[in-house]
Amino acid sequence: MDLGIKGKMAVVAASSQGLGRACALELARAGCTVVINGRDPGDLEQTAGEIRSETGAKVIPIVADVETAEGQLALIGAVPQVDILVTNNGGPPLRDFRQVDRTALIAGVVGNMIAPIELIQRVIDGMVARRFGRIVNITSGSVKMPLAGLDVSSGARAGLTGFLAGVARSVAHANVTINFLLPGAFETRRLRSSIETAANRSGNNVEAVRASRKEAIPAKRFGDPSEFGAACGFLCSAQAGFITGQNLLIDGGAFPGVM
């Protein structure tokens, strides 16, 4: 399917690995110039080379912290204009809420709510003026189904969702959309680290913990990042202009709700 975005310029935050990388790869496949981002120069250059090799697209790696003004300006300034923005950032570590102090609370809100909002503020007026814009925020399945220990992440990401709900409606007339992708358990480095941590805490075998988590998912498997990237690509497509303010949960059926 031709997504209709060949030649567009995309910025994908936190995209040297995992789900951010999957989104960047899909946008590159669609013919976009893609700015990718991370904090490790080695990982970032390797990812840029891999995406270029696979797609032939122009890929611009930017080492930056998206939580800072300097980092945001580096990302946005890497291309003449931003037509597509995918916000993403690592979440706070698993921690009992009783152990979360004020500093940790503020850091979580800055990373998972304030930074995405600031990035959007920097690009949205240009999108409105050009009558095209696609903004996709990678949040978490925990926005709909909170998980104990990820309370800071759940709260900050839910705050981002609520904040942008009204913004999405205010720019829809200009063919600018704002949507959210809510991942469940995907085969990423973060998932593997989470499983190892859980195994160490429980004293169980890593493979046993992995099998238990997989069994709890109706699809009986973890998601492939390429599936997530494909969903992101569609939400960024020309054909998705009538979809805005929506939360797309991609979790293999783990959330048991009707809506």
Per-position pLDDT tens, the chain of length 259: 899 999 999 999 999 999 999 999 999 999 999 999 999 999 999 999 999 999 999 999 999 999 999 999 999 999 999 999 999 998 888 888 999 999 999 999 999 999 999 999 999 999 999 999 999 999 999 999 988 888 999 999 999 999 999 999 999 999 999 999 999 999 998 888 889 888 888 888 899 999 999 999 999 999 999 999 999 999 999 999 999 999 999 999 999 988 8
Q: What is the pLDDT of residue 144?
A: 93
Do residues 186 and 138 touch, judged by C-beta distance below 8 A? Answer: no
Q: What is the pLDDT of residue 122?
A: 98
Task: Please choose, from the candidates 88, 82, 210, 81, the residue with its C-alpha nearest in 3D space to the C-alpha of residue 140.
Answer: 88
Q: What is the pLDDT of residue 193?
A: 85
H/E segment holding residue 110:
none
Do residues 28 and 232 touch, judged by C-beta distance below 8 A? Answer: no
Q: What is the pLDDT of residue 203?
A: 85
Q: HSE of 159 in the Cβ direction (CA atoms, 13 Å)?
A: 18
Q: What is the pLDDT of residue 190?
A: 86
Do residues 5 and 32 touch, judged by C-beta distance below 8 A? Answer: yes
For helices 151-171 and 102-109, angle between their N-to-C axes, nearest 10 degrees: 30
Q: What is the pLDDT of residue 148?
A: 84
φ and ψ at 2, to 5 degrees?
-80, 120
Q: What is the pLDDT of residue 231?
A: 98
Do residues 10 and 33 touch, judged by C-beta distance below 8 A? Answer: yes
Q: Six-digit token pair at 149?
A: 């220990």
Q: Is 7 helix (H, G, I), strand (E, B) or coil?
A: coil
> How far is the CA of 166 from the CAs of 75, 169, 172, 175, in angstroms?
25, 5, 10, 15
User: Which are the contacts of 234, defined by CB distance < 8 A and separation ≥ 6?
Assistant: 3, 240
pTM listed for this prediction:
0.96
Q: What is the pLDDT of residue 74?
A: 98
Q: What is the pLDDT of residue 235?
A: 98
Do residues 177 and 137 touch, judged by C-beta distance below 8 A? Answer: no
Do residues 182 and 250 touch, judged by C-beta distance below 8 A? Answer: yes
φ and ψ at 47, to 5 degrees?
-65, -45
